[in-house]
Structure 1
Amino acid sequence: MGIGGLIRDLRRGHGWSQGRLAEELCKATGYKANITREEISRWERGKVKPGPWWLRHLATVLQVPLATLELADVDRRTFLTDVAATAIAPIVASDLLTHGFDAALRRRPSVDDWQAKLATYGRDYMSAGAAEIQRRLSADLVVLQQQLETPGMWDVAAKLATLYAKTFPGSDGSKAVDWYRMAATSADRSGDTDSRVWVRGRAAIALGYEGASLTVADRFADEALALSDRPSLGRLNALMGKAHVAALKGDHRAALALTDEGWRVFEHAASGDREESDYAVPEWRMNVFVSLLAARLGDERRAVEAQEQAARKLPATLPRFRTHLEMHRGLMLARSGDRSGGVGYARAALDSLPREKHSLTLRMLMDEITA
């Protein structure tokens, strides 16, 4: 999706006409510059591209990070430049550069090599901490950036960028969303519909589960659902992401209807119970999604049932997800009126998990329970 299509989708997400967006931009600039409906139309049709000054005001009016608009037309040269933001010290930058040059001077990894790395990262994400995954992925993304020449490489990049996005808190309103947007653009470059749906669906459930950037989560979900109606893990993630957004906005009926549809898709697209990967959704993980959703809705019966079903099949090798379930119980207590008891229960569950295995999602869940 280019900058024009993104402006159009964001405008429609606010329920605005092109004329209304023009009015809002005039207000945002203090009427220092005039913008017309016709100019908005030219932007959206790709006839003219808004300059940096207008991009800043568009970001303000449309309530998105500036980088989301700046990266809408991402290409090989700009993909992954945010990796530099992780280089918080010269020694880190040196390590990244060394890793990149070593790979360039030796045999470059093949698509099969990268697919193997994808599988490894998918498994490791389930138990490793965010900091460890981010450090390793930063180095590999620097190498992958040099190889974005085929649809297969763009497919790998899309899935690794999605995972990388999850190492940033979605609530910061910038880094995570920017990376999800780059991942979606990369999936578009791959030309693979399943990849395009999966990346957007994964972004939707990640942000929805975290309770962060809800408008963006809803938009990613809608994009995924519009791309294909075939039952798939991407569609399942998109439906559950929208369900969490609806729950957090207080629309109980929509949240439950979306969950029911999610279960219907799950019947056709479920992963095997032995699959321990971020790229899989076995039954226990689906029940983790439902457990938090029901806790947010205050539906104790449904929450307890989902927690029991999840705990029954949850692998012992994944203690972090057991912590999720315990914290959902803390949220239920807090929502029922026992705030101190709920916070204490959730805090004890989080503290019992080794700190190096903490995820940003768990920390955000703790913030939600405390609030």
Structure 2
Amino acid sequence: MTLGPLIRDLREALGYSQGRLAELLCESAGRATVCREDISRWENSKRTPGPFWLRHLAAVLEVPLTVLEDAKLHRRRFLTDMAATAIAPVVAADLISSGFSAALAADGLPLDYWQDRLNVYGRDYMSLGAAEIQRRLAHDLVVLQQHLDQPGMWEIAAKLMTLYGKTFPGSDGAKAANWYRMAAKAADRSGDDAARVWVRGRAAIALGYEGASLGMAEMFAEQAMQISDVPSLGRLNALMGKAHVAAIRGDRGTALSLLDEGRRVFDRAGSQEQTSDYAVPWWRMNVFVSLLAARLGEERLAVTAQDAAHAELPESLPRFATHLEMHKGLMLVRAGDKSGGTAYARAALDRLPPEKHSLTLRLLMQEIENGGH
């Protein structure tokens, strides 16, 4: 394993953005400077920090220097070993305490408490960064494990696990895909077909939109569609996820056919709720369509979808406005202007505060930089 992923894991475990890590390194190093772009290059193994920066990285990331020097250390062993030392004492103690407290409670936490937590996460995911959501969810998932004594609890667990999976990039299949698989099994425990379809459909659109793990995205989509043909948000997500897979593979006819079917389902199952990850209102449907059209090179369809999304997109959700602007950058790239499209998308991403960035946006930027592939 290279050094870059270790730096990223440590940074995310502490909840730092790349920009924040750069600031802390500058404070630690005195006059020497480092910027967010340097952090990105280190994490993507495009450059390797020298001995000077390794020392300061070890100090800021709260690990022994030898951990960073041993770039071949296996990630799983690293996380396990460090759980009892540099990273996790406070966090692990809090999680363990919460879990045992929940197990020892006479009555436990009721279903409506967890339903409220689910609703809060659905809203917060739309505006908060992945690192913050991941930290909070890790705590609640430990506690929730002690309350899986009825079908309704399994449904809530499945939806929270799906959301947790979305805090990892889909390209890292060992993390995101594993959480989606567990979420699907948890949904099956609930016995609720709507939940079973929703979890699989949400995994399909997450992976398909990211352009990651296409086989896994297609598998989840097909499972969702086989469970039930009732129009629902889960089926809509599955159809749109599968449409994105087809678009990335260059199958224009299938992508547009799935889009038509998705629109029919949306007409019957679209949401009135505007600001929840568990909803698909009109503006969000058009965000899906905007990226799909950009990937297909359908400029007129993309512009129409972008205008429709902007018309109803809540001002409280600037991250999705960034998505739409980056779709325009992808359109330029697909039209042959790689440098102009990449610069346009990068400028849009840079205007969004780093703490608002999502892993999905990061993957979209990589897709644009790679020429739309």
Q: Could you say if the C-alpha distance between residues 85 and 205 of structure 1 is closer, same or farther in structure 2, counting changes exceeding 3 Å?
A: farther
- Which runs of 5 or more structure 2 residues have no equivalent in the other structure? 1-78
- Output the amino acid matched with 1:206: A
What residue is the counterpart of 1:325 in the other structure?
324
What residue is the counterpart of 1:99 in the other structure?
98
- C-alpha root-mean-square deviation of aligned residues, in Å? 1.6
What residue is the counterpart of 1:227 in the other structure?
227
What residue is the counterpart of 1:110 in the other structure?
110
SS in 2 for 1:340: helix
Aligned positions of 1:1-371 closer than 5 A: 88-106=87-105, 108-272=108-272, 274-371=273-370
Cα separation, 2, equivalents of 1:178 and 1:317: 31
Structure 1 residue 99, shift from structure 2 partner: 2.4
Cα separation, 1, equivalents of 2:80 and 2:324: 35
Native 8 Å contact 1:247 1:297 kept in 2: yes
Cα separation, 2, equivalents of 1:85 and 1:338: 47
Q: 84-93 or 122-131, which moves further after superposition?
A: 84-93
SS in 2 for 1:109: coil
Structure 1 residue 86, shift from structure 2 partner: 11
Native 8 Å contact 2:274 2:314 kept in 1: no
Q: Could you say if the C-alpha distance between residues 267 and 254 of structure 1 is closer, same or farther in structure 2, counting changes exceeding 3 Å?
A: same
Cα separation, 1, equivalents of 2:353 and 2:153: 35
Cα separation, 1, equivalents of 2:221 and 2:132: 28
Cα separation, 2, equivalents of 1:221 and 1:163: 17
Native 8 Å contact 2:130 2:167 kept in 1: yes
Per-residue CA deviations over 1:232-290 (Å, capped at 9, x if unaligned) read 00000000000000000000000000000000000000101x43100000000000000
Structure 1 residue 149, shift from structure 2 partner: 1.6
Structure 1 residue 150, shift from structure 2 partner: 1.2
Cα separation, 1, equivalents of 2:306 and 2:93: 45
Structure 1 residue 91, shift from structure 2 partner: 2.4
Cα separation, 1, equivalents of 2:294 and 2:253: 15
Per-residue CA deviations over 1:273-318 (Å, capped at 9, x if unaligned) read x431000000000000000000000111100110000000000010
Structure 1 residue 111, shift from structure 2 partner: 0.6
- Output the amino acid matched with 1:351: D
Cα separation, 2, equivalents of 1:97 and 1:227: 37
Native 8 Å contact 2:102 2:146 kept in 1: no
Cα separation, 1, equivalents of 2:321 and 2:82: 30
Cα separation, 1, equivalents of 2:323 and 2:225: 27
Cα separation, 1, equivalents of 2:82 and 2:124: 20
Cα separation, 2, equivalents of 1:250 and 1:84: 41
Per-residue CA deviations over 1:132-162 (Å, capped at 9, x if unaligned) read 0000000000001111121111111100000
Native 8 Å contact 1:84 1:93 kept in 2: no
Cα separation, 2, equivalents of 1:352 and 1:175: 29
Matched residues, percent identical?
69
TM-score, structure 2 length as denominator?
A: 0.75
SS in 2 for 1:171: coil
What residue is the counterpart of 2:46 in the other structure?
none
What residue is the counterpart of 2:71 in the other structure?
none
Cα separation, 2, equivalents of 1:322 and 1:86: 39
Structure 1 residue 178, shift from structure 2 partner: 0.2
Q: Could you say if the C-alpha distance between residues 109 and 361 of structure 1 is closer, same or farther in structure 2, counting changes exceeding 3 Å?
A: same
SS in 2 for 1:128: coil
- Output the amino acid matched with 1:154: W
Cα separation, 2, equivalents of 1:266 and 1:337: 33
Cα separation, 2, equivalents of 1:94 and 1:341: 49
Q: Could you say if the C-alpha distance between residues 278 and 185 of structure 1 is closer, same or farther in structure 2, counting changes exceeding 3 Å?
A: same
> How many aligned positions are there?
288
What residue is the counterpart of 2:60 in the other structure?
none
- Output the amino acid matched with 2:201: G
SS in 1 for 2:346: helix
- Output the amino acid matched with 1:358: H
Cα separation, 2, equivalents of 1:307 and 1:248: 19
